[in-house]
Amino acid sequence: MKPLLPMLFGRLPLDEQIAAFRATLARNELLMEVLARAVKLDLPGWYLTAGCVFQTVWNVVTGRPPTEGIRDYDLFYFDDSNLGWDAENAVIQAGERAFHGLPAAVEIRNEARVHLWYEDHFGVPCAPYTSTEAAIDSFAATTCCLGIRVDDDDRWRIYAPHGLADVFNLVVRPNPVLAPRGVYEAKTQRWCEQWPGLTVLPWPGDAP
């Protein structure tokens, strides 16, 4: 596939947007290997999500190496049958074995347990999530709200509640549903240092 100019992406039919998105992610061979190994863990409601997805797009669009600046690979799943730490830790340990040897950290989290620690970490309470998708919906920026997985029949499942155009157009849009303003500003400041071509939209209520 030929390189796709960001400004043209939003004009593509939706099926072609998805094809372009998948082709872009495929440029990150490490992401594809994490995805392939994640399938074998067979976790309920799992997705690879957040930075490893949208930052791969940013890298490809801006001509950088596909893995540049990606700190880790977030693997979310949802299992509310056991909210104890031991159950989640057993999955994390299984993941360490599954991803052993990869030059990347894979962070595994049971999103059914997030409400138990979120306030201590971010300073605001978090109602229990009802699914992995609900957790993805609460990211600080809509641009982050992406999840990908491969089902048993090798069919890709792409969760993108805010679409894909902003990601390809390097637009970061706030999502003030849970994470506080400070989280959004800290993340966008770091991202702009790595990807200076980003357009960061202000937190609601800020002067333009």
Whether residue 102 is contained in a domain is answered as: yes
SS3 assignment, position 191: helix
**Is a pLDDT exceeding 80 seen at residue 4?**
no
Whether residue 207 is contained in a domain is answered as: no
Whether residue 38 is contained in a domain is answered as: yes
Give the number of domains in the chain. 1
Token output for 109: 């989290």
**Is a pLDDT exceeding 80 seen at residue 208?**
no
pLDDT at 2: 44
Cβ 170 vs Cβ 61: under 8 Å: yes
Whether residue 1 is contained in a domain is answered as: no
* CA–CA separation, 47 and 49 (whole Å): 6
Q: Which amino acid is at 137?
A: D
* CA–CA separation, 148 and 206 (whole Å): 33
Whether residue 34 is contained in a domain is answered as: yes
**Is a pLDDT exceeding 50 seen at residue 63?**
yes
Cβ 114 vs Cβ 88: under 8 Å: no
What sign for the dihedral angle of Cα 27, 29, 31, 36?
A: positive
Cβ 197 vs Cβ 170: under 8 Å: yes
The band of 16, judged by pLDDT with boundaries at 50, 70 and 90, is confident
SS3 assignment, position 16: helix
List helix spans (H) across 42-140. Answer: 51-61, 85-98, 118-122, 132-137
Of 25-34, 128-137, 151-160, 193-202, the one with minimum mean pLDDT is: 151-160
Taking alpha carbons only, the member of 132, 148, 141, 179 closest to residue 162 is: 141
Domain range holding 170?
6-200
Whether residue 160 is contained in a domain is answered as: yes
User: Could you tell me if residue 202 is left (phi over 0), alpha (psi between -120 and 50 degrees) or otherwise beta?
Assistant: beta
Q: What is the pLDDT of residues 99-153, one digit of tens each?
A: 999 999 999 999 999 999 999 988 899 999 999 999 999 999 999 999 999 987 7
* Other Cβ atoms within 10 Å of 4 Cβ, number: 18
**Is a pLDDT exceeding 60 seen at residue 168?**
yes
Token output for 44: 């309920």
Whether residue 155 is contained in a domain is answered as: yes
Whether residue 141 is contained in a domain is answered as: yes
pLDDT at 111: 98
Mean of pLDDT values over 63-82: 96
**Is a pLDDT exceeding 50 seen at residue 1?**
no
Q: What is the pLDDT of residues 171-187, one digit of tens each?
A: 999 999 999 999 999 99
Taking alpha carbons only, the member of 11, 2, 18, 1 closest to residue 169 is: 11
Tell me the pLDDT of the chain averaged across its residues: 92
